[in-house]
Amino acid sequence: MKRIFTRISVLAALCLLTINVALAQNITVKGKVIDGGDKTPLPGVTILVKGTQTGTQTDVNGGYSISAPANATLVFNFVGYTALEQAVNNQTTINVSLASSTQQLEQVVVVGYGTQRKIDVTGAVASVKGEDINKQPSTNPISALQGKVAGVSISNNATPGSAPQITIRGTGTIYGNTGPLYVVDGVWYDDITFLNPADIASINILKDASSQSIYGVRAANGVVLVTTVKGKNGNATINYNGTVGLQSVTNQVKMTDASEYATAVNEAYKINGAANPLFASTNLGAGTDWYDQVLRTAMINNHQVSVNGASEKSSYNFSLGYVNQDGIITNNNYKRYTARLSNDFQVLKNLKVGYNVTGSSSKSNNAPASIYRALYTAAPVVPVFNADGSYGDPNNFQLGNGSNVNPQATIDFNNSITSKYRVTGNVYAELKFAKHFTFKTSAGGDFGQEENRIYTPLYYATTGQNTKISTLSIGRTETRNWILENTLTYENKWNDHSLTILAGQTAQRYKSYTMTGTAQNVPYTRDGDLYLSLGNASGRTIEDSGSLNTATSYFGRINYSFKNKYLLNASLRGDAASQFFGGSDLWGYFPSVGAGWVISNEDFMKDQKVFSNLKLRGSWGKVGNAGVPINPTTLTVNQSAALIAFYNGIANTGASVTTIVPPALFWERSAGTDIGLEMGFLNNKLSIEADYYNKKTEQAIFNIPILGSLGTSNSVLLGNQADFRNRGFELLATWSDKTSGGLTYSISGNIGINNNKVLNVTSGSNPIDAGGDGLNNAVVPTRTVVGMPIGSFYGYQVVGILQTAQEAATSGMPGARAGDFKYADLNGDGIVDSKDKTFLGNPNPKYTYGINTNFAYKNFDLTLDIQGVADVDVFNANLGNRFGNENYTKDFYDNRWTGAGSTNTYPSTSLAGGNNNQTNSFYVESGAYIRLRNIQLGYNLPQSLVSKWKMQKLRVFANAQNAVNLFGYKGFTPEVGGVPTKAGIDFNVYPMFATYNIGINLTF
């Protein structure tokens, strides 16, 4: 019996082994993949055996063949479609259809404190995927949005490590922080320079007041919602993304050479009545090309590696990033290190907890603050170095010490370093209960430190560039911000109804502390470290300052849908901010309402063949601005020994009121209306979205000039001074399709039209001047008045050039000479003076547009993006701000006035002083441009080859940014930002450069 049992056991074991071997054996699976909508074949679909690196791709007819275990699971992936998993179950033929992930009805977008289906959104929300952002290798993700979103204007500051300036539907506020609110995974920020673009899953921009109002106090300039990459189901995957590239200056301004410069200066001397020319000979050759001397082709490296995965109970994503970017100026460099970790844990069936944390560290060797102005003005007759090795000195050529310096000496003795450290993130818990309720609590923080160190050594380079005492200045700023948020959401669907109710509470604190120390006679140590304590004690100073702002908020929102046809959204937020403590307006309330009608879901639309989607929506809302200083209404006095009053024979030091303060500030509010139409044609191959908006900022906070005769120390008065409006139209059209030959493509175009206008100023006809950044006579080139756009250029209208001395004498312009600008006598009184100034241009772009395309054929992909602005002006302050013998542009030299009849457009070379450097229309130029923003060609190595190397994906690509720039502006770039009241003034702007990269995307 025992022997029989043993034989049965052995036989059973052999049977089980045979079954396992059979199951483990691979079988060949064939099939076809088609579009779930129009049933056409899908070429280029990736098929992987789940949990392995084994995979293949479909051919031009959608067919595939793969070897897989009989009990395996196949994963089908294709860009623009929802991933699909299919069990093999011993099947040798598996045909599948993939559903488009971009269907209008099911596309999910991120909104304030949640998500919604695109079809359910009643406000204006634009969404950009992380994969589209990463196709423009950039150190800042916002830069990659340029030209991709209608109504969003972005000005890039090319300085390494800097953040671009973003404006959403025109200027929202004037005073304080004029940038949008960034919300990263629920935490509020003023910028996202700490984020690696490869860590971003999507960016959603809230453009209208209805979608923004849930963020109340901080939403006046728009809201940018950033969702970072989370762990995905499946085994751990390792991703590497890296680029290496070169940056080179484009559209470089051509300056005169030494001979031309000498000719021009001699002409100016003659016109100004000098007895002798400055240069005895103008045959000086080419001289020094200062741009060629100082500018360089710079390297940039950008690398990121991440580990991503998830199980049934948890998910994780960890990444490390490194950026090393050289500036186009010698010795300018920026390095940044980032680390990000996120985890989500399904602790219980209804309880989920998680955290996100990002750390960043950066160091920048800064270029001299005025180096680009110095390069523009430097005289080409001055050598970089003399024969004895000393620096070329402008004073040796009797050029004086005005704007003429030796730029090489400026760079060589520049020692300015900025170091930043930042840790940000949040922890959260999410509890689902009673079937329809979700409670979420989150605590986030932003903790950082920035240190700026500037050291000027003891040196002698030129007559105007030397110091007899070394100076060290160190400034350190600490930020300690936190935010606590609690939300309760009720969500229910029954019959034809869908209802979501959100209630929430927020508490925030923003704290900063700054300490600045200076010391003289600080020696430079061998290790490069510098310490204030090594300087003279007598010359050492320390100053500190800080701020503490707090806010508490309550908010709620209702979303209702009936039959997926009729949509309603309403929200209300109340904010109390410490900036307004002590006033009568501590609390601000920000309501909104939106409605939508999905016309294509109506019964009467079922048989029509024109629209695959048709939706009408409208919204109204209010948002606020708390970006103002705390306690600006405190009255201060000045005590002085010169003010003595005697009481009962006792001398008392008097005091004088030296400032005028406004009454208590109250909330600046912006009310906006939006009407939108969304259309889809041909099964949504063609989609069109159009919006009209009207946004009015009420009781905007401005600085208004006050009369100096009042004897106060402040020249401006801060207060709720004006109302202004932004009104415009946006259009987005996208065509997506694929051909029978296997080409998949999408072409998208967008345009935004915005008109800015000041409606009311409480000071009546008093203008709001910008202050600073004018010509050398300190005249400000902008003015903000009722009926005009904010920061409009203002000055004299040039109507020609005075050709003769007689014409100059009868021009009505005191001190005018032949060769000077001829200004229009607009009031006809025979005298040209300040009463004849007029508005010359608008720095606020009217049109912004972009064209974005994607093509994929077999293993190749191509991305091409074009971006531009139109109907905008730039003030060329570089050309007009002169103190004497600065250099001239080649354009000016070739077209200058040289005598009667030579030109009626360009003045003589005598630009410093007199009438020629007055703010006038000659210096106002068109800022319109169109550029090839990005072009990228990629190639995915065949899956069969990649699998042999134990990889899932290997893609190589070449990329070019800003390679082609078309504009008529006579400076480096018309892309000139600035605060709203003095935007578009080109003075020491960082030159535009093109970047050429090669890169790799690798997945294990």
Nearest Cα to 639, choosing from 622, 620, 658, 621?
658
The pLDDT value given to residue 15: 38
Assess whether pLDDT exceeds 60 at residue 9. Answer: no
pTM of structure: 0.86
CB atoms within 10 A of CB 533: 9
Classified as helix, coil or strand, 351 is strand
Assess whether pLDDT exceeds 60 at residue 445. Answer: yes
* 133: enclosing H helix or E strand: helix 130-133
Q: What is the pLDDT of residues 340-381, one digit of tens each?
A: 999 999 999 999 999 999 999 999 999 998 899 999 999 999
Q: Which residues of 274-299 are buried (b: 16+ CB within 10 A; e: fewer)?
A: eeebbbeebebeebbbbbebbbbebe
Separation in Å, CA 79 to CA 98, 612, 745: 11, 22, 11
Q: Are strands 924-926 and 873-876 parallel, antiparallel or unpaired?
A: antiparallel
Assess whether pLDDT exceeds 80 at residue 397. Answer: yes
* 240: enclosing H helix or E strand: strand 234-249
Nearest Cα to 931, choosing from 996, 1004, 857, 994?
994
Residue 190, judged by CB atoms within 10 A of its CB (0-12, 13-18, 19+), counts as middle
790 vs 883 pLDDT, higher one: 790
Query: For the chain, how far is it from start to end, CA to CA, in angstroms?
Result: 55
- Which of the four pLDDT bands, split at 50, 70 and 90, describes residue 881? confident
Q: What is the pLDDT of residues 14-27, one digit of tens each?
A: 333 333 433 347 89
- Which of the four pLDDT bands, split at 50, 70 and 90, describes residue 663? low
User: Stretch 603-615: mean pLDDT, rounded?
Assistant: 90
Rg over alpha carbons for the chain, rounded to the nearest Å, is 33
Assess whether pLDDT exceeds 90 at residue 403. Answer: no
Average predicted confidence (pLDDT) for the chain:
87
**Residue-range domains of the chain with CATH:** 26-98 (2.60.40.1120), 108-231 (2.170.130.10), 335-366+417-459+468-562 (no CATH), 631-661 (no CATH)
**Alpha-carbon distance 87 to 415, whole Å?**
64
The pLDDT value given to residue 398: 86
Assess whether pLDDT exceeds 90 at residue 775. Answer: no
The pLDDT value given to residue 844: 95
Assess whether pLDDT exceeds 60 at residue 421. Answer: yes
- Taking a C-beta distance cutoff of 8 angstroms, is the pair 30, 93 a contact? yes
Highest mean pLDDT of the ranges 90-99, 202-211, 527-536 = 202-211
Assess whether pLDDT exceeds 90 at residue 163. Answer: no
Reading the block at residue 706, the tokens are 């006050």
335 vs 39 pLDDT, higher one: 335
Phi then psi for residue 86, to 5 deg, are -135, 120
Highest mean pLDDT of the ranges 30-44, 254-268, 779-793 = 254-268
Chain centroid to Cα 368, Å, comes to: 23
The pLDDT value given to residue 13: 41
Look-up of token digits 């404006």: 167
**Alpha-carbon distance 360 to 17, whole Å?**
54
- Residues forming beta bridges with residue 447, ordered by sequence position: 423, 480
- Taking a C-beta distance cutoff of 8 angstroms, is the pair 697, 749 a contact? no
Separation in Å, CA 73 to CA 23, 48, 51, 236: 13, 8, 9, 17
Reading the block at residue 871, the tokens are 């109907």
